[in-house]
């Protein structure tokens, strides 16, 4: 008990040392892009998401380097649902495969001519599976009925079928509902069902969750996958292993985390590959797939909003802005990193005062920020950093249209 209390106090202390200002350098730089941002803001109404592809390219470069150094045979797939507004961007089409989780997303990837599509998710319609088989996409099967569904349409194409595995690690806090469990032998049973149905399994897939700051989780998952491969004599059969996403960005930690750190992307890749190398030391290694979402896009996009109203009560500035919690649904998940800029886009610094920022809907709880910020004037801009992941795509269209996304 004493040990537990000390541990949680230490965790709390670590969390309290978290300083969001240290991370501003990872986001859209207002001072370096002032003229480009001014041009956009002169043409477009707020609220508006403004993104910087250079930041995406930097994350992509770091991930690519880590994969090249540690494995060589790899492919990066962008997880579409993180942000749909950027899938038409040529940088995405030219550099990533598409990772999709529904028939709607599958069609989007086809329409945008992505070279390869990885089809995941618990609900794949029969017609979308048929199309994915025709296109020789990668299909990661989530449950037993999907095996029999694909068996109906699988006339020995080159389609790669994989099993999504359900893995428990020492760091697992909540058991996943997805995939075939290694622990209770569902995965072995799935291999047998696939064999009976002439569905050749050539891949294994996991997605351990989002925002995972602990690389040990990937290491343990890689060990469990390796043991599964060896035990079931799959080394020659397995052509790809897909480790999903979950790599963190530089945004604030989720509200429910007591401890937080941001590993370098190479730490994740090393955690995975050092373990896999123990099984795959022959020349032809399987393709290592990763499906990053927030790691690629969260830092790169910031929302710009303006002030609708300001009042002072009990020495607190109460601001109503022209965005809302429905345009930034991630507000429920973690605290925002906000900067105040004057009309000329100079960032305001100086003494911070107690501030509450309300959204523009008629909901009492449309509260976007509570904390300390410099004094805000009605002509200022609010800049909501690291809003590129799961805001645009989860936007509810409630009362207002969803904001546009424009790249500088
Ligand atoms: C199967 C799968 N792959 C990849 C991702 C992307 O995750 P993240 O945004 O944490 O990188 C998700 C998101 O939940 C997912 O469900």
Residue bearing the CA closest to ligand 1, atom 5: 245
The more confidently predicted of residues 75 and 11 is 75
Q: Choose which CATH entry (3.20.20.10, 3.40.640.10, 1.10.3720.10, 3.30.110.40) describes domain 53-297.
A: 3.20.20.10
Residue 351: pLDDT band by 50, 70, 90 thresholds?
Answer: very high
CA-to-CA dists, residue 218 to 1, 59, 178, 260, 398, angstroms: 29, 19, 17, 16, 38
Round the average pLDDT of the chain to a whole number and report it.
Answer: 93
Residue 4: pLDDT band by 50, 70, 90 thresholds?
Answer: low
How far, in Å, CA of 325 to CA of 144, rounded?
Answer: 39
Residue bearing the CA closest to ligand 1, atom 16: 207
Alpha helices in 115-262 (DSSP H): 126-134, 144-153, 186-196, 215-231
pLDDT tens digits, residue range 104-123? 999 999 999 998 999 999 99
Residue 325: pLDDT band by 50, 70, 90 thresholds?
Answer: very high
- Cβ of residue 79 lying under 6 Å from some atom of ligand 1: yes
pLDDT tens digits, residue range 206-244? 999 999 999 999 999 999 999 999 999 999 999 999 999
Nearest atom in ligand 1 to the alpha carbon of residue 101 is 1
Nearest atom in ligand 1 to the alpha carbon of residue 295 is 11
- Verify cis geometry, omega within 30 degrees of 0, for the bond prior to 245: no
- Ligand 1 mean position, distance from CA 210 (Å): 6
Q: Where are the domains of the chain?
A: 20-51+300-407, 53-297
The three-class DSSP label of residue 401 is coil
- Cβ of residue 246 lying under 6 Å from some atom of ligand 1: yes
| Those residues with Cβ within 8 angstroms of residue 191's Cβ, 6 or more apart along the chain or in another chain | 163, 201, 232
| Those residues with Cβ within 8 angstroms of residue 401's Cβ, 6 or more apart along the chain or in another chain | none
- Cβ of residue 291 lying under 6 Å from some atom of ligand 1: yes
Q: Report, as an integer, the average pLDDT of 185-213.
A: 95
Residue bearing the CA closest to ligand 1, atom 3: 244
CB 264 within 8 A of CB 351: no
Assigned superfamily of 20-51+300-407: Lyase, Ornithine Decarboxylase; Chain A, domain 1 (2.40.37.10)
- Cβ of residue 387 lying under 6 Å from some atom of ligand 1: no
- Ligand 1 mean position, distance from CA 228 (Å): 23
- Cβ of residue 162 lying under 6 Å from some atom of ligand 1: no
- Ligand 1 mean position, distance from CA 79 (Å): 6
Residue 153: pLDDT band by 50, 70, 90 thresholds?
Answer: confident
What is the pLDDT, as a whole number, of residue 159? 77
CA-to-CA dists, residue 247 to 85, 119, 278, 348, angstroms: 21, 20, 23, 32
Residue 8: pLDDT band by 50, 70, 90 thresholds?
Answer: low
């Amino acid at each position: 008990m004493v040990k537990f209390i000390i541990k949680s106090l230490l965790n709390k202390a670590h969390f309290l040392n978290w300083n969001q200002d240290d991370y501003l350098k990872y986001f859209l730089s207002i001072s370096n892009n002032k003229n480009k941002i001014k041009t956009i803001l002169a043409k477009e109404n707020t609220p508006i998401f403004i993104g910087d592809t250079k930041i995406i390219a930097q994350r992509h470069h770091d991930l690519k380097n880590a994969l090249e150094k540690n494995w060589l045979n790899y492919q990066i797939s962008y997880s579409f649902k993180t942000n749909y507004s950027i899938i038409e961007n040529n940088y995405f089409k030219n550099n990533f495969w598409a990772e999709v989780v529904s028939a709607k997303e599958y069609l989007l990837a086809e329409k945008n001519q992505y070279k390869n599509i990885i089809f995941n998710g618990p609900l794949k319609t029969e017609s979308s599976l048929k199309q994915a088989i025709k296109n020789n996409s990668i299909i990661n099967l989530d449950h037993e009925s999907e095996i029999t569904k694909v068996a109906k349409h699988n006339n020995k194409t080159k389609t790669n079928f994989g099993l999504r595995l359900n893995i428990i690690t020492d760091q697992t806090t909540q058991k996943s509902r997805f995939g075939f469990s290694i622990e209770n032998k569902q995965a072995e049973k799935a291999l047998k069902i696939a064999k009976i149905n002439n569905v050749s399994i050539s891949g294994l897939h996991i997605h351990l969750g989002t925002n995972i700051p602990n690389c040990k989780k990937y290491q343990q998952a890689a060990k469990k996958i390796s043991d599964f491969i060896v035990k079931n004599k799959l080394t020659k059969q397995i052509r790809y292993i897909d480790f999903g996403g979950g790599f963190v960005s530089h945004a604030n930690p989720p509200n429910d985390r007591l401890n937080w750190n941001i590993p370098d992307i190479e730490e994740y890749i090393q955690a995975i590959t050092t373990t896999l190398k123990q099984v795959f030391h022959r020349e032809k290694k399987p393709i290592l797939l990763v499906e990053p979402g927030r790691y690629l896009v969260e830092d790169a996009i910031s929302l710009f909003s303006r002030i609708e109203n300001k009042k002072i009560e009990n020495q607190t500035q109460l601001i109503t802005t022209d965005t809302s919690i429905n345009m930034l649904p991630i507000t429920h998940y973690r605290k925002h990193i906000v900067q105040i800029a004057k009309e000329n886009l100079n960032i305001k610094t100086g003494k911070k005062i107690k501030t509450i920022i309300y959204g523009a809907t008629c909901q009492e709880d449309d509260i976007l920020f509570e904390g300390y910020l410099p004094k805000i004037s009605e002509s200022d801009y609010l800049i909501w950093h690291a809003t590129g992941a799961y805001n645009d795509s989860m936007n509810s269209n409630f009362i207002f249209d969803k904001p546009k996304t424009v790249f500088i």
